[in-house]
Chains A and B, each alone.
Chain A
Amino acid sequence: MTEAVRYLIDGLVLAALLAMTAAIMGLWRLRGFYNRLHANGLTLWLGLLPLLVAALLSGDTVIVTKSFLLLLCLLMTTPVSSHALARAAGSRLREPDDPHPGAADDGSGRAV
């Protein structure tokens, strides 16, 4: 592994750390369930994808195969689980014409 690739992996890992920090802070600070759901989606795309690319850069056949499998698995399952959570939040709204169903409608950030 050349030195340039090692620095590239360093950069990818640090970028992933930054994105995951933003996502977890979003889970803590954001008001409204849909906003927090969006922060959780950020964890995958900006947090795990750089790490998976860093694993792919290692060049080892087994690691490349398994991380590609993990990438494929996450790519298929995470949108489904986010969709299920959003539907669960949407089915619990109080007003049919609420513009932000389930999102901070009593001002406390509760998902109804």
Chain B
Amino acid sequence: MHTPVFYVAVVWLSVLLGMAILQVLHHRDALDAVLAVDASALVLIAVLLVQTVWSGSSHYLDPALVVALLSFVETVAVAALLTRGGLFR
């Protein structure tokens, strides 16, 4: 990856992360908040992947995996709470 592309990608993804977090704060419904948290986790994974490609170091991929698993557990747990009649009927 060339240097300008890296800086553009990091700044742009930071703006997107901020927009996703603002969407969490401005949610219209509880499900929308969960969806926005999920989206912000995916943007965070994207930031870590860009860092991986840029630095050539594999250390950024471990937190990416952890964030992916945590956002999955969080989404399913809150969806199970919000489903009327239970999620696993």
Same complex: yes
Are A63 and B42 interface neighbours, CB within 8 A?
A: no
Q: Given the known A-B contacts A20-B43, A88-B87, are A66 and B19 also in contact in the complex, defined by CB atoms under 8 Å?
A: no
Q: Binary interface profile of B, 57-89, with partner A (CB < 8 Å = 1, else 0)? A: 010011011001101100110011011110100
- Chain A facing B: main interface SS: helix
User: Which residue in chain B gives the minimum CB-CB distance to A69?
Assistant: B65
Tell me how many residues of A have a C-beta within 8 Å of chain B: 51
Are B64 and A70 interface neighbours, CB within 8 A?
A: yes
Q: How large is the interface on B (under 10, 10 to 19, 20 to 34, 35 or more residues)?
A: 35 or more
Residue in B12, B53, B69, B82 whose Cβ sees the most chain A Cβ within 10 Å: B53
Which residues of B have CB within 8 Å of A109? 28
Are B52 and A67 interface neighbours, CB within 8 A?
A: yes
- Chain B facing A: main interface SS: helix
A91 to B79, CA, bound (A): 10
Are B20 and A33 interface neighbours, CB within 8 A?
A: no
Are A66 and B12 interface neighbours, CB within 8 A?
A: no
Partner among A47, A54, A70 whose Cβ is within 8 Å of the Cβ of B65: A70
* Interface, chain A (partner B; CB < 8 A): 6, 9-10, 13-14, 16-17, 20-21, 23-24, 27-28, 33, 36-37, 40, 43-44, 47-48, 51-52, 54-55, 58, 60, 62-63, 66-67, 69-70, 73-74, 77-78, 80-81, 84-85, 87-89, 91-92, 108-112
* Interface, chain B (partner A; CB < 8 A): 1-2, 5, 8-9, 12-13, 16, 19-20, 23, 28-29, 31-32, 34-36, 38-39, 42-43, 45-46, 49-50, 52-53, 56, 58, 61-62, 64-65, 68-69, 71-72, 75-76, 79-80, 82-85, 87
